[in-house]
Amino acid sequence: MKIPKILYINLSDKTYFLKEREDLKESLGGTGLATDLFIENVDLNYPPLDSRQPIVLSSGYLTPYFPVATKSIALFYSPLTNSLGESHGGGRLGLAMKLAGIDAIVITGKSEKPCYISIYDSNVNIKPADPIWGLKATESATYIRDKEGMAGMRSILRIGTAGEKKVGFSMVIVDTYRHFGRLGLGALFGSKNIKALVVSGTGIGLDRDVDFEEYKKVFEELHKKVISGSMRKYHEYGTALNILPLNEMNALPTRNLKSGCFEKAEDISGEAFAENNMTRKFACAGCPLGCIHIAMRRNKFANEEEWERNEVSYDYELIYALGSLIGIDDRQKILKMIECTEELGLDAIYTGVFLSWITEAFEKGLLTSTDIELDKIQFGDTEGYMKILQNLIYSNNKFYSIARSGLSELVKIYGGYDFALLVNNNAVAGYHTGYANLIGQSIVGIRNAHTDNAGYSLDQEGKEFDPKTMIDLLIKEEIFRAFFNCTGICLFARKVYDMGLLVKVSEILGYKIKEDHINHIGSKIYLKKFIFKEKTGFDINNYKFPERFFETPAGKKRLSKDFVQEAVNEFKIRIERLKREYNF
């Protein structure tokens, strides 16, 4: 195993050092390494946005050595859920960290003034960011690009004004079109006065002593497999291709999940975007496939017919959250909403859930126009939603001051919990497919994200699972993904890299991992995070679901609370058994 090199940065005293952590060799990289670094640096005596709390960034241990190994992982104490925050990002970050000779970065402390962090070959410069504090995320990136070198071989992370204002669901943008989107990393950056972070390096140390002929052979086989196999669909239409099938199965959350079927789904489908709006595709560094779909938004920025074109990336989740969920059926308007979240630096999924809750709360009379500082709001009102998002950042009235902490705080004051689409205070992804999705995100899933264990995918197999089998399958997938996310391989390629291949590519790079050990590694990572969640208040015996998940049929049927309770009971048994097995 390679000894990971960790770059520690303390913003309070402007110090940094690189440390080789032989004791963390078994943590591999990605989520495994990030978990250990996070747990040893977080301090539960202080709140998530206290300057002592760490931001951990970790590159996958296979990044960027094999095709589609592109990911890096962020771990932090989430200000949104007051629990474990984990987000996965692509772009060039994983590659750039390796070019700099760094496997992971731990940032603590707080800069006295707005700053951006420039890392080159493990040398750190903390530079003033006063000129870009208050600017859109997009504008601040232009500033950094002009100031820093190594174009093409660097990664630029930045926040928008949402992060500066410490909005609980603010994100960090990675290289324009990728994100650490979920659970509020943007607020962590803002709390430390970090506007941006740029990483690059000469690449010294990137070369390794390997069986080169074997490496070349395996790399080139994988390259062919990726570009010619089942992954092609991600390049052609991207995840947006899921809009129509999910709508067909009545699982596309619409108008705050009052329904699972959007009557204008065809207009906002992946096919419609591809035929009418798509202008190009991008890829993360090291992915020959390229699943980042870009569409052109025509913007009339002033009167007198003054137009510009803006390039906006779209995906299934964004079309769901900023389309069907808030009743917008016009592709240009959806792109406008996406662009707005990009500029402000807000998690698009959470933003959609937030806006759809406000719309229904206003309909039901729980909110007034004084609260939202708008005459009225109704589903589909793009201009109204844009105004609400501006108010979220800049208004200091009671409603928006609370809203910046997230929906879970709003419902305590204004009510409406039962139609707030939250699981453990995180916003749900766009799959109202059935039990596996709901239980997978809320109970089994560590981050309360759909990609934790892909319950939505299990539901779509169309089989009737009993609670015990379903829990077994979800935990099995969650544990496998806990290991898989150490590698840095994108989850889209999980079927390309079967167990045998994972062992082989690891071995080529000097990581001796036996196939039957993968489950062991994944289980330990999963348990470490689960224990952290429990310590921060997750109580499976008192878990409450919003009623909306049961009111609106998931797929073709209504979900039964009895079934869910049985599944929760099964999970309790399984997790306790797992803890005993691994002495946790």
Query: Which residues have C-beta within 8 Å of that of residue 287, sequence separation ≥ 6?
Result: 67, 68, 70, 90, 226, 490
Q: Which lies closer to other proteins via its Cβ, residue 37 or residue 172?
A: 172
Alpha carbon of 120 to those of 33, 124, 126, 140, 387: distances in Å? Answer: 21, 7, 12, 19, 40
Q: Please give the structure tokens belonging to residue 381.
A: 């009102």
Q: Are strands 104-108 and 5-10 parallel, antiparallel or unpaired?
A: parallel
- Distance between CA atoms of residues 321 and 329, nearest Å: 12
- Asked if 284 touches other proteins (CB under 8 A), the answer is yes
Q: Which lies closer to other proteins via its Cβ, residue 65 or residue 320?
A: 65
Q: How far is the CB of 582 from other proteins (least distance, A)?
A: 34
Span of 26-34, 144-152, 314-322, 368-376 interacting with other proteins by CB under 8 A: 144-152
Q: Which lies closer to other proteins via its Cβ, residue 111 or residue 176?
A: 176
Q: Which lies closer to other proteins via its Cβ, residue 81 or residue 313?
A: 313
Q: How far is the CB of 261 from other proteins (least distance, A)?
A: 34
Q: How far is the CB of 391 from other proteins (least distance, A)?
A: 26
Contact assessment for residue 268 and residue 324, using Cβ atoms and an 8 Å cutoff = yes
Q: Which lies closer to other proteins via its Cβ, residue 228 or residue 303?
A: 228
Span of 5-13, 276-284, 322-330, 481-489 interacting with other proteins by CB under 8 A: 276-284
Contact assessment for residue 293 and residue 238, using Cβ atoms and an 8 Å cutoff = yes
Q: Please give the structure tokens belonging to residue 361.
A: 């709360």
Question: Which residue in 258, 261, 311, 574 binds other proteins (CB under 8 A)?
Answer: 311
Q: How far is the CB of 554 from other proteins (least distance, A)?
A: 36
Q: Please give the structure tokens belonging to residue 195.
A: 């506007």
- Distance between CA atoms of residues 125 and 135, nearest Å: 21
Phi and psi, residue 547, nearest 5° = -60, -30
Q: Which lies closer to other proteins via its Cβ, residue 310 or residue 536?
A: 310
Query: Which residues have C-beta within 8 Å of that of residue 32, sequence separation ≥ 6?
Result: 482, 483, 485, 486, 521, 525
Interaction with other proteins in 176-235: which residues (CB under 8 A)?
A: 176-177, 202-204, 206-208, 210, 212, 215-216, 219, 223, 227
Q: How far is the CB of 105 from other proteins (least distance, A)?
A: 19
- Look at residues 390, 384, 314, 294 and name the one whose alpha carbon lies nearest to residue 346: 390
Contact assessment for residue 327 and residue 256, using Cβ atoms and an 8 Å cutoff = no
**Residues 336-355: x where in contact with other proteins by CB under 8 A, - otherwise, as a string:** --------------------
Q: How far is the CB of 343 from other proteins (least distance, A)?
A: 11
Q: How far is the CB of 170 from other proteins (least distance, A)?
A: 20
- Asked if 147 touches other proteins (CB under 8 A), the answer is no
Q: Which lies closer to other proteins via its Cβ, residue 271 or residue 308?
A: 308
Interaction with other proteins in 412-441: which residues (CB under 8 A)?
A: none
Q: Which lies closer to other proteins via its Cβ, residue 215 or residue 584?
A: 215
Contact assessment for residue 386 and residue 299, using Cβ atoms and an 8 Å cutoff = no
Span of 3-11, 18-26, 135-143, 493-501 interacting with other proteins by CB under 8 A: 135-143
- Distance between CA atoms of residues 237 and 437, nearest Å: 23
- Distance between CA atoms of residues 490 and 292, nearest Å: 13
Question: Which residue in 4, 29, 64, 160 binds other proteins (CB under 8 A)?
Answer: 64
- Asked if 95 touches other proteins (CB under 8 A), the answer is yes
Q: How far is the CB of 402 from other proteins (least distance, A)?
A: 33
Q: Which lies closer to other proteins via its Cβ, residue 101 or residue 380?
A: 101
> What burial class does residue 121 get, using C-beta atoms within 10 Å of its C-beta: 0-12 exposed, 13-18 middle, 19+ buried?
middle
Question: Which residue in 1, 153, 386, 402 binds other proteins (CB under 8 A)?
Answer: 153
HSE value, Cβ hemisphere, 13 Å, CA-based, for 349:
23
- Look at residues 372, 306, 386, 301 and name the one whose alpha carbon lies nearest to residue 339: 386
Question: Which residue in 10, 51, 125, 138 binds other proteins (CB under 8 A)?
Answer: 138
Q: Which lies closer to other proteins via its Cβ, residue 342 or residue 452?
A: 342
Contact assessment for residue 88 and residue 538, using Cβ atoms and an 8 Å cutoff = no
Residue 576 φ/ψ region, left for φ over 0, alpha for ψ in the -120 to 50 degree band, beta for the rest: alpha
Q: Which lies closer to other proteins via its Cβ, residue 38 or residue 65?
A: 65
Total residues binding other proteins (CB under 8 A)? 44
Q: How far is the CB of 2 from other proteins (least distance, A)?
A: 13
- Look at residues 481, 480, 542 and name the one whose alpha carbon lies nearest to residue 516: 480
Q: How far is the CB of 56 from other proteins (least distance, A)?
A: 25
Q: Which residues bind other proteins (CB under 8 A)?
A: 64-65, 67, 95, 99, 138, 141-142, 145, 151-153, 175-177, 202-204, 206-208, 210, 212, 215-216, 219, 223, 227, 279-290, 292, 294, 310-311
